[in-house]
């Protein structure tokens, strides 16, 4: 478990005005932190930090390295004494910035204060999309900055967006392939949402920008995650974090459109789990007329709710489509044979339906296949084919 100590640097260093950005809203803060405030804020996490495996100080919200160099040093000087190597309780300092605000002098400054992780807001690797989004940098800037940061030994994170103006599903998939080619240590994926007081909002209200639906964004993000997994790149986050003003549309929210959901990552994992379960059931020829009425999914308890879906929507969907009566979720130490033994007796027949797992291997690392068992009751009475159940082992690769 990682404890992130957030220090927001709202808009201060950013010379741009990207069409989707109202950084004061997204960061949840409207003023720059003063010198003493940073140290006091970090210090306030000291006791809580003991409960975590790793502690990060993260400067987010603006473009850190576009701030005046003296100000950067000022913030980093306040944070550096809290690093473990300086006798503190923090493992690493993380900053986020723009691809065109990194050069060797900047990298040297960050190294001087032991910044360990640098995240670049790449957003897209399509120059047309970048121009329409008024990003003010190109894909080549991202390539050059990524290379420089890796050569200087930083852990590299690349932030990307889907559904920006001018983007198509294919251009977003190409962006993921290009991002993967930069070999970042991790990525974040943010579906574009429309917030008040932005150019994108004005375009949206004029009908000139149509955001993706939540369903389409979930499907697309699933495909993007697959690309990253195949390249061994972890996805640190999918979807914007909820803040006071970034929340589902409604009173107090600055969100006026687009696929915002406070648990967007869970929507993607649930979508993948449902797809895997459906494929397994189809591979085992389960249908409403077949004798199989029960599905048991074995997975890590932290993913139980992903498997069942929000408000058990996955479970209900499977019951309806495949005629199942029971859907159970059990922890990984469960042995499939043990389930049957407890219920009815000895397993006398086993048939395994193989499932193509390759498309699930980014977080559903393994779908072991559906095992169809026929049981004999403890009495020894011949009751073959009395109980049939599908056992499916789903393994999610953990997120960073
Ligand atoms: S570069 Fe970042 S902070 Fe600046 S306007 Fe664009 S999104 Fe906002």
DSSP string, 106-117: HHHHHHHTTEEE
CA of 381 to the centre of ligand 1 (A): 71
Residue 109 has pLDDT above 50, yes or no: yes
- Check residue 379 and give its pLDDT: 57
Q: Which residue has the higher pLDDT, 241 or 87?
A: 87
Q: Which residue has the higher pLDDT, 332 or 217?
A: 217
Partner residues linked to 59 by β-bridges: 7, 95
How large a percentage of the chain has pLDDT more than 90? 56
CA distance 200 to 191: 14
CA of 6 to the centre of ligand 1 (A): 18
Q: Which residue has the higher pLDDT, 399 or 187?
A: 187
- Which residues line the pocket of ligand 1, CB cutoff 6 A? 11, 14, 16-18, 21, 23, 62-63, 98, 121
Protein residue whose Cα sits closest to atom 6 of ligand 1: 18
| CA-98 nearest atom, ligand 1 | 1
CA distance 34 to 11: 15
Spell out the residues 6+ positions from residue 31 whose beta carbon is closer than 8 angstroms to its own: 10
Instruction: List the single range of 69-73, 80-84, 149-153, 295-299 with lowest mean pLDDT.
Output: 295-299
Protein residue whose Cα sits closest to atom 3 of ligand 1: 62
Q: Residue 176: name the closest of 135, 231, 227 by CA.
A: 227
> Across all residues in the chain, what is the average pLDDT?
84
- Check residue 278 and give its pLDDT: 87
Could you tell me the residue ranges of all domains in the chain? Answer: 2-262, 270-396
Q: Which CATH architecture has domain 2-262?
A: Alpha-Beta Barrel (3.20)
CA of 11 to the centre of ligand 1 (A): 7
**CB distance 315 to 327 below 8 Å:** yes
Burial of 245-280, coded b for 16+ CB within 10 Å and e otherwise, reads bbbeeeeebbbbbbbbbeebbbbbbbbbbbbbbbbb
CA of 26 to the centre of ligand 1 (A): 10
CA of 308 to the centre of ligand 1 (A): 37
**What is the token pair recorded at 91?**
């493992």
Q: What's the whole-number mean pLDDT along residues 26-48?
A: 78
| CA-14 nearest atom, ligand 1 | 4
| CA-121 nearest atom, ligand 1 | 2
- Check residue 17 and give its pLDDT: 83
Per-residue pLDDT tens over the stretch 327-385: 989 887 776 656 655 555 444 455 555 555 445 444 454 555 445 554 444 555 544 44
CA distance 178 to 195: 28
Q: Give residue 312's region: left, alpha or beta (phi > 0; psi -120 to 50).
A: left
| CA-11 nearest atom, ligand 1 | 3
CA distance 70 to 84: 24
| CB neighbours of residue 103 within 10 Å | 12
| CA-15 nearest atom, ligand 1 | 4
- Check residue 292 and give its pLDDT: 77
Q: Give residue 385's region: left, alpha or beta (phi > 0; psi -120 to 50).
A: left
């Amino acid at each position: 478990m990682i404890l992130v100590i957030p220090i927001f640097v709202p808009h201060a260093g950013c010379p741009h005005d990207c069409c989707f950005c109202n950084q004061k809203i997204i960061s949840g803060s409207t003023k720059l932190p003063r010198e003493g405030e940073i140290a006091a804020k970090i210090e306030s996490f000291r006791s809580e930090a003991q409960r975590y495996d790793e502690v990060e100080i993260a400067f987010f919200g603006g473009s850190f390295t576009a701030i005046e160099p003296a100000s950067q040093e000022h913030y980093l000087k306040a944070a550096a004494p809290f690093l473990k190597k300086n006798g503190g309780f923090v493992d690493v300092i993380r900053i986020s910035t723009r691809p065109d605000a990194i050069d060797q002098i900047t990298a040297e400054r960050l190294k001087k204060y032991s910044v360990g992780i640098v995240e670049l807001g790449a957003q897209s690797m399509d120059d047309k999309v970048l121009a329409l989004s008024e990003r003010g940098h190109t894909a080549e800037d991202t390539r050059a900055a990524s290379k420089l940061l890796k050569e200087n030994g930083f852990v590299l994170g690349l932030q990307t967006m889907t559904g920006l103006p001018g983007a198509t599903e294919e251009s977003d998939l190409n962006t993921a392939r290009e991002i993967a080619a930069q070999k970042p240590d991790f990525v974040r994926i943010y579906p574009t949402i429309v917030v008040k007081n932005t150019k994108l909002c004005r375009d949206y209200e004029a009908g000139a920008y149509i955001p993706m639906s939540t369903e389409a964004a979930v499907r697309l993000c699933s495909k993007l995650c697959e690309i990253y997994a195949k390249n061994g790149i972890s996805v640190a986050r999918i979807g914007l974090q909820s803040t006071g003003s970034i929340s589902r549309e409604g009173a107090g929210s600055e969100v006026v459109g687009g696929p915002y959901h406070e648990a967007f990552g869970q929507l993607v994992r649930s979508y993948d789990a449902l797809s895997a379960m459906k494929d397994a059931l189809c591979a085992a020829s389960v249908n409403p007329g077949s004798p199989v009425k029960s599905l048991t999914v074995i997975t890590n308890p932290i993913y139980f709710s992903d498997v069942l879906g929000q408000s058990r929507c996955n479970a209900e969907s499977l019951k309806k489509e495949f005629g199942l009566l029971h859907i159970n979720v059990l922890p990984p130490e469960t042995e499939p044979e043990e389930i049957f033994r407890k219920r009815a007796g000895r397993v006398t027949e086993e048939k395994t339906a193989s499932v193509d797992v390759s498309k699930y291997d980014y977080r559903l690392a393994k779908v072991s296949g559906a095992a169809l068992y026929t049981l004999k009751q403890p009495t020894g009475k011949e009751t073959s084919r009395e109980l049939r159940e599908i056992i499916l082992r789903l393994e999610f690769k953990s997120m960073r």
